[in-house]
Amino acid sequence: MSEQHITYRRLGRTGLRVSPLCLGTMNFGTATEEPEAHAIMDRALELGLNFFDTANTYGGGRTEEIVGRWLRGGAGRRDRVVLATKVYGGRDPWPNTSRLSARHIRAACEASLRRLQTDHIDLYQMHHVDRGTPWEEIWQAMDLLVAQGKVIYVGSSNFAAWHIVQANEHAHRRGSLGIVSEQSLYNLNARMVELEVLPACLASGVGVLPWSPLAGGLLGGALHEVGQGRRSSERQQAAIQANRSKLEAWEAFCAELGAPPAAVALAWLLANPAVTAPIVGPRTRDQLDGAMGALEVELGQRELEALDRIFPGPGGPAPEAYAW
């Protein structure tokens, strides 16, 4: 598969165009050593993926450093990549070294820019809601970073629907663009966001970036892998046993469709109009190539209804999901 097969999508209500899969880097520096991480990023560009996601806390900061060295290691790489990172967490227990105070937002941004070896972040995401900091303070800090050219767009992650709406109401009063994307836990086996987060994002022009689209590997052919004798963690084994009947029906469905389970799981997300780009976190180049198969899978109404029967959602958006 080459770059011309990619159909780029607008990120939420912005004019920014991103690839339909976002390269997640959380494994870089932990499960994936730096040479292979660099090879994965090379391959991502070769395949036409232009959207890379990381966070200041991944690998204790090492992940951003790995991405930064790769960005500086080749001419034109930074210009081709839509670079996203996050702010909220911190490993230092000292006050003001985590969360979303204006002081921490500014300090964390400067630290991420140093590690990433760049002068700007394309999408700066709040990694979690901070109920202890007023939105006026948060947007003052974000607006300053935008004015300084250090940040272009602001996103969120793990926000409830009302957090997204509230944040954007405060931003719009200031004349700011506000949140343009939301990273949420979303996959066939975790559909709670369909109640309120997805409808809120659709109504607000906020692009959804699902994380853990394969449910920690559960939707990637877990039964087959166990049957082939591959090692799995105790946690994954417990998840497999708890969901065995669903997974048996799921893997049989994918076999009938003639497509790898991981590709079908990603294709299901891409069929949702609220979703901009699932975040895939490959440990190897082969896993990245496998994820690209999602762009070749087409799911019609019959297939979508079959998947609803295997993995029932919450019943649609609220309040119809639980009321008349």
Residue 317 identity (one-letter amino acid): P
Q: Do 276 and 207 contact (CB within 8 A), yes or no?
A: yes
**Confidence band of 92 (pLDDT split at 50, 70, 90):** confident
What pLDDT does residue 1 have?
A: 42
Q: What is the pLDDT of residues 196-228, one digit of tens each?
A: 999 999 999 999 999 999 999 999 999 987 655
Strand intervals (E) in 176-291: 179-185, 207-211, 279-280
Q: What phi and psi values does residue 121 have, to the nearest 5 degrees?
A: -110, 130
Say if 298 falls within a structural domain: yes
Asked if pLDDT for residue 140 goes beyond 90, the answer is yes
Q: What is the pLDDT of residues 19-35, one digit of tens each?
A: 999 999 999 999 999 99
Say if 84 falls within a structural domain: yes
Say if 229 falls within a structural domain: no
Asked if pLDDT for residue 161 goes beyond 80, the answer is yes
Which residue range is the domain that position 28 belongs to? 3-219+260-310
Q: Do 178 and 171 contact (CB within 8 A), yes or no?
A: yes
Residue 147 tokens, joined: 């004015």
Say if 247 falls within a structural domain: no
Q: How many independent structural domains does the chain possess? A: 1
**Which residues, in sequence order, are CB contacts of 92 under 8 Å at separation 6+?**
98
Q: Which CATH number does the domain housing residue 197 bear?
A: 3.20.20.100
Q: Is 3 helix (H, G, I), strand (E, B) or coil?
A: helix
What pLDDT does residue 291 have?
A: 97
Q: What is the pLDDT of residues 105-119, one digit of tens each?
A: 999 999 999 999 999
**Enzyme catalytic residues:** 58
